[in-house]
Amino acid sequence: AMVATRASDERGTAQQVDVAVVGAGFAGLYLLHRLRKAGLSAVGLEEAGDVGGTWYWNRYPGARCDIQTIDYSYTFDPELETAWTWSEKYATQPEILRYLGFVADRYDLRGDIRFRTKVTEAKWDEKAERWQLTTDNGAPVSCRHYIMATGCLSAPKPPEIDGVKDFKGEVYFTGRWPHGGVNLAGKRVAVIGTGSSAIQSIPLIAEQAAHLTVFQRTPNFALPAHNGPAPSDRMSLLQADRPAYREQARQSMAGVPYPQQTVVSWQLSDAERRERFERAWAAGDLVHILTQLWADQAVDVDGNKIVQDLIREKIRAAVKDPETAAALTPHDHPFGAKRPCLDTNYYATYNRPNVTLVNLRQEPIKAITASGISTNGRSIDVDVIVFATGFDAMTGAIRAVHPITGRGGKSLTDVWAQGPQTYLGLTVEGFPNFFMITGPGSPSVLSNMAVSIEQHVDWVVDRLAALRDAGFTTIEPTETAQAGWNRHMADCSMVTLHRLANTWYTGANVPGKVQGLMPYTGGVGPYRSICDEVVSRGMLGFKLT
């Protein structure tokens, strides 16, 4: 009798919905909109105080998208597309956040979201065929389907350096930048890290600070953004035939409509290669330079090396001090095997008298002390330390909900002990009615994520509606399908150069993280075809009950 009473109490207090959506970023917002249109009841659960996800948290100076904003937008509603105009080729974080707020208002989504509410645990109840979610704020949630739209780059990596607590000055993380901004004028600032966020913020921090010391472990390839108005050639392509432009993006390799190159590097003369490269450099577009030079640049070591050398030449020309230029030049990975960065004055910033680069490969950090940072060689006193040390990418936010308990009491952490195992990057065997948006095993961070997010959300919501209409209550991938997907993932990654780089794509940036390439390298368009084929072949690889 006691047990029965407790169970009914729990049922009484839990919020009952068809679907729980964790996260209110690009993915969570679109999910809530689509679920409502499909007639499924849903609640959004979001740790932050408002919508925006990435664009809510990352408020550091210089934060911008680095896929052109006309491509990094929702495309599901043509009226939304014409109701919003971007002011720049690469919009700033405040503008993207305003856009996501505009979307939330336009489709009236905020009312369905519980903000400042973190999901802490999730458990599949086999009898009820429902997920029970525990939160740190308010009622638990009972849902038929549990969708993690928790983001690929949303769990900041904790600092690996001893002594942060001893430091008497100010400490900031680019991924958790204070809403009111930070006054760095006249201060001695340290930035630790030289990834995308650092490369965007360093030029602006250098303009404010009395002195800036940058601590670099691994240099990245950075390309000029040439920000400004959206380029007229891209705008005219979009405006000439918007639906065709969007469709081409969906079928493309990276989620941006560029044609496939067929000419390989050795078919071109030196002069022709240089001409293509200079055109790409002037375009200021990551996807252009990653895909439009020659067909072998991402799959062949020699074809890639030509690009690397041309970029290294640019770095040498931009940085006056040869020693600093050498330290800033990457030699440990093929171009594109690690996410390249877009910069605005990044390399030129090292020509300023108030900027110093510390090369941690030669001079590792020993500790953070009360007054600053000490390396093997010296102690550098600073007032402010900025950690631009990146994220526990792709799996960090998923694993932070702990435990996620599936069928038979199995925990996702255990199932993923040797690395993430998924079917299509969307689902996991043993975890019925559980979905991840842009999860490990999908193109995700190797794509324009706006396109990948819309594809995942459409696929998942369409499946949930079809399941309901056919009278099924559960969906789960088979073990065979999951093993097959992992095999296919491995095969695809062997034909790219990703295998030659240790990066956050492979988990190498987080100590103790299992190593393995997490995103699917087969391309956005081919991936979409596979997902569609799974459906047209009667939900191939899934078990429905």
Interface with ligand FAD by CB under 6 A: which residues? 22-28, 45-48, 53-54, 56, 58, 63, 65-67, 72, 118-119, 149-154, 197, 397, 400-401, 437-438, 448-450, 453
Select 199 or 319, whichever has its Cβ closest to ligand FAD.
Answer: 199
Contacts of 326 (CB under 8 A, 6+ apart): none
**Residue linked to tokens 């324009």:** 448
Rounded Cα–Cα distance for residues 431 and 417 (Å) = 15
Q: Smallest distance, Å, CB 120 to ligand FAD?
A: 7
CA quadruple 348, 206, 328, 152: dihedral sign: negative
Closest CA to 398 of 42, 117, 148: 148
**Residue linked to tokens 């435990």:** 403
Q: How far is CA 127 from CA 41, 131, 404, 538, in A?
A: 21, 11, 17, 26
Select 43 or 65, whichever has its Cβ closest to ligand FAD.
Answer: 65
Select 46 or 476, whichever has its Cβ closest to ligand FAD.
Answer: 46
10 Å CB burial of residue 415 (0-12, 13-18, 19+) is middle
Rounded Cα–Cα distance for residues 161 and 37 (Å) = 48
| Inter-residue contact 117 to 138 (CB < 8 Å) | yes
Select 161 or 393, whichever has its Cβ closest to ligand FAD.
Answer: 393
Q: Smallest distance, Å, CB 80 to ligand FAD?
A: 17
**Residue linked to tokens 């769990």:** 155
Select 188 or 399, whichever has its Cβ closest to ligand FAD.
Answer: 399
Rounded Cα–Cα distance for residues 427 and 436 (Å) = 6
**For the residues of 15-31, what is the DSSP string, one character each?**
EEEEEEEE--SHHHHHH
Q: Smallest distance, Å, CB 62 to ligand FAD?
A: 10
Select 47 or 429, whichever has its Cβ closest to ligand FAD.
Answer: 47
Select 89 or 188, whichever has its Cβ closest to ligand FAD.
Answer: 89
Q: Smallest distance, Å, CB 90 to ligand FAD?
A: 8
Q: Smallest distance, Å, CB 256 to ligand FAD?
A: 9
Q: Smallest distance, Å, CB 486 to ligand FAD?
A: 22
- Residue 488 structure tokens: 């296919």
Rounded Cα–Cα distance for residues 210 and 190 (Å) = 11
Strands 379-381 and 141-148: unpaired
Select 24 or 337, whichever has its Cβ closest to ligand FAD.
Answer: 24
Q: Smallest distance, Å, CB 97 to ligand FAD?
A: 11
DSSP tag of 196: H
Select 58 or 359, whichever has its Cβ closest to ligand FAD.
Answer: 58
Q: Smallest distance, Å, CB 56 to ligand FAD?
A: 6
**Residue linked to tokens 């849903």:** 42
Specify the DSSP element, H or E, that contains 216.
strand 211-216
Q: Smallest distance, Å, CB 249 to ligand FAD?
A: 12
